[in-house]
Amino acid sequence: IQQENAADVVAAQPLHSVVAMTQGQLGSMVALSLQELLPASTPVVVVVSHVRVDRDDPAFQHPTKPIGPHYDEATARRLADERGWVVADVGQG
């Protein structure tokens, strides 16, 4: 949502960067919680991971967990045509 709302102001970040930010934020929350629970001498480490996938994998044509904001049908079709996206109506919320 931040990407869409700021699209006229800043360039969109690639998906891998946004995923890494999410991993880092979640990892930080888990690490802080563990540091509160564990003795101070217990090290807590957060690792951001990367996965390489085949961009031609046919599974990308049938996503099981779509990501991103909800678009009205006309906008979804336009973005799919312009950007080569696979879009799905999974409802709002």
Residues ≥6 apart with Cβ < 8 Å to 59: none
Residue at 78: amino acid letter: R
Neighbours of 13 (CB within 10 A): 14
Residue 50 and residue 23: Cα distance in Å, rounded? Answer: 10
Q: What are 1-51's pLDDT values in tens digits?
A: 677 788 788 888 888 888 899 999 999 999 999 999 999 999 999 998 888
Compute the average pLDDT of residues 75-84.
92
What residue segments make up the domains of the chain, in order of their start? Answer: 1-52, 55-93
> Are 35 and 44 spatial neighbours (Cβ–Cβ below 8 Å)?
yes
Whether the pLDDT of residue 93 is over 70: the answer is no
Q: What is the pTM of this model?
A: 0.63
Would you say residue 82 has pLDDT above 90?
yes
